[in-house]
Amino acid sequence: MGDGLYIEARIGVDLDLVWERTQDPAQHQRWDLRFTRIAYLPGAEGEPQRFTYGVRVLPGFFVSGTGISAGERHRPDGTRTSALRFACAHPLSFLTEGRGYWRYVPCAEGGLRFLTGYDYAPRWGRLADRLLFRPLMGWATAWSFDRLRLWCERGITPERALWRALGEVAARLLVVAAA
């Protein structure tokens, strides 16, 4: 695998709300730009949770993979961690397999630090990954964390945040084109 990605955000709400919006697949897929669909697979109680995920790369073109996660809800220091492994056999996916974690760290002054570290094996070589895919994944993760923060702190839904951002980009492009 390559150089791992690390993204951190400070979110000024209770840890339980962030945990819910990150661990529930229906809520997770709303704010995380890296996924279009996340679904848990049936499993036995107490077993690690298996899931499928998918990304719509282009209209009508969907790349999907599988994963396994286990959430650790209670730690003596008040933190929580969720670790996962994922893989994608689709020949057009830019990654083959990977692993990562989310960590939820309560802050003494309120809120929490929500952070992730993850890495993956690129399918199309290290150069394309280093120049294009890894920076794109870092950007998408950081923007996703900000959409989660806005949703938790201000009630701005991830969908609304996306439309606002697209509107701002369109307005800036119009100003540039007019100049």
The CATH number of the domain where 68 resides is what? Answer: 3.30.530.20
DSSP structural state of residue 123: S
**172/37 Cα distance (integer angstroms):** 30
For 165-174, write each residue's pLDDT tens digit: 889 889 999 9
Question: Given a cut of 70, is residue 1 above it in pLDDT?
Answer: no
For 84-141, write each residue's pLDDT tens digit: 999 999 888 889 999 999 999 999 999 999 999 999 999 988 899 999 999 999 999 9
For 46-87, write each residue's pLDDT tens digit: 888 999 999 888 888 889 999 998 767 778 889 999 999 999
The mean pLDDT of 16-22, rounded to a whole number, is 95
Domain of 93 in residue numbering reads as 5-178
Measure the CA dihedral 103/22/157/65, to 10°.
120
pTM: 0.89
pLDDT at 16: 94
pLDDT band at 42 (very low <50, low <70, confident <90, very high): very high
Q: How many domains does the chain divide into? A: 1
Q: In sequence order, which residues have a C-beta less than 8 Å from that of residue 145 and are 6 or more positions away?
A: 7, 8, 9, 114, 116
Question: Given a cut of 70, is residue 2 above it in pLDDT?
Answer: no
Give whole-number Cα distances, 89 to 40, 53, 97, 167, in Å: 18, 12, 8, 35
pLDDT at 71: 67
pLDDT at 53: 93
DSSP β-bridge partners for residue 7: 116
pLDDT at 169: 86
